[in-house]
């Protein structure tokens, strides 16, 4: 199916985009208007865009029904300051309540039961329950359209960062598991960064992976290995040496797998990959069925 976004109703296009582009982090953004009235609203059109300078960007979209601007957008245009508060599981229901379309001037901190903590530099308060809060000045607001559903990029420069020390590990670094962050999915769905849902992938930062195209053909076109398996193998810098091949060839489980044919050998290598033994897995994959030397066929 191929769709033309220009032919879709705004509601349907929003549903498609917000479901397909997910999970998205959530910014609970606090602003004030020219009269000092506080507003708090969550936005999942949000992310970090720069480290030096530290820049966060979120986008209040215009209301689909009439194209009117939300209070947050009006506020940052009056007072170019905002606090951006990340959302974890302990506060997700309160965050959702703060998204209610209350009348202008209604304080969502009070409606959602959040604690308003005075900021050090900017006028909007921060959310006391948030594990990480950023005080920001607004560099610019970039309108992307005028009609309903049009976004407005709020480019926010971080000037202070507040951390809950309980979220730090023993080295004083933010701990992903302790943070227990939530993210926005499509419709009414959210997801949670629980230990069971987290996994690590070795990042090719200091090494130059040989790539999937550097693997022998019988590995690339395996009937067993998945795309993720091939990506992990391609992150290795080079094929194993003959000594590594000899070392794995004598293992009893390898001998048994080779007797079962190529797919059995590939399934064993897949088990090694799942245990993080990538070099061992590649060495097994390079064993011939009737010898211990590598093959490219």
Q: Do 236 and 264 belong together in one domain? A: yes
Q: Do 219 and 179 belong together in one domain? A: no
Phi-psi region at 105: left, alpha or beta (left = phi > 0; alpha = psi -120 to 50): left
Number of domain units in the chain: 2
Q: Note the pTM of the prediction, 2 decimals.
A: 0.88
Q: Do 85 and 41 belong together in one domain? A: yes
Helix (H) or strand (E) holding 132: strand 132-143
pLDDT value of residue 296: 38
Angle at 54 between CA 109 and CA 49, to 5 degrees: 90
Q: Which domain holds residue 98?
A: 5-197
Residue with tokens 């044919």: 261
Q: Do 270 and 226 belong together in one domain? A: yes
Record the tokens describing residue 205, joined without a space: 């930062």
Q: Are 40 and 97 in contact (CB under 8 A)?
A: no
Residue 77 lies in a domain: yes
Residue 294 lies in a domain: no
Residue 156 lies in a domain: yes
Q: Do 135 and 220 belong together in one domain? A: no
Residue 295 lies in a domain: no
pLDDT tens-digit series, residues 92-149? 999 999 999 898 889 999 999 999 999 999 999 999 999 999 999 999 999 999 888 9
Q: Do 38 and 185 belong together in one domain? A: yes
Residue 290 lies in a domain: no
Q: Which of 152, 174, 197 is the last residue of a domain?
A: 197
pLDDT tens-digit series, residues 43-86? 999 999 999 999 999 999 988 777 888 899 999 999 999 999 99
- Helix axes of 262-274 and 252-259: crossing angle, nearest 10 degrees: 140
């Amino acid at each position: 199916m191929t769709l033309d976004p220009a032919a879709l109703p705004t509601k349907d296009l929003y549903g498609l985009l917000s479901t397909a582009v997910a999970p998205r982090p959530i910014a609970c953004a606090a602003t004030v208007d020219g009269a000092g009235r506080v507003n708090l609203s969550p936005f999942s059109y949000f992310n970090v865009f720069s480290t030096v300078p530290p820049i966060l960007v979120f986008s209040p979209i215009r209301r689909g029904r009439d194209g009117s601007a939300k209070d947050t957008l009006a506020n940052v245009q009056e007072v170019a300051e905002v606090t951006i508060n990340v959302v974890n599981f302990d506060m997700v229901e309160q965050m959702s309540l703060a998204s209610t379309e209350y009348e202008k001037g209604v304080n969502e901190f009070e409606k959602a039961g959040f604690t308003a903590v005075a900021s050090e530099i900017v006028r909007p308060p921060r959310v006391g329950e948030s594990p990480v809060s950023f005080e920001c000045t607004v560099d610019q607001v970039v309108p992307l359209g005028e009609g309903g559903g049009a976004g407005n990029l709020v480019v926010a420069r971080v000037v202070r960062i507040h951390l809950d020390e309980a979220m730090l590990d023993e080295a004083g670094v933010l701990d992903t598991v302790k943070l227990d962050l939530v993210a926005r999915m499509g419709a009414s769905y959210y997801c949670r960064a629980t230990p069971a849902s987290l996994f690590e992938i070795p990042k090719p930062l200091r090494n130059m992976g040989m790539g999937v195209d550097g693997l022998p053909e019988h590995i690339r076109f395996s009937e067993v290995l998945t795309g993720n398996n091939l990506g992990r193998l391609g992150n290795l810098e080079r094929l194993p040496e003959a000594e590594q091949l000899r070392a794995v060839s004598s293992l009893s489980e390898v001998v048994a797998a080779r007797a079962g044919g190529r797919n059995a050998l590939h399934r064993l290598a897949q088990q090694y990959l799942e245990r993080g033994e990538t070099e061992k897995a590649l060495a097994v994959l390079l064993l011939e069925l009737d010898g211990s030397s590598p093959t490219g066929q």
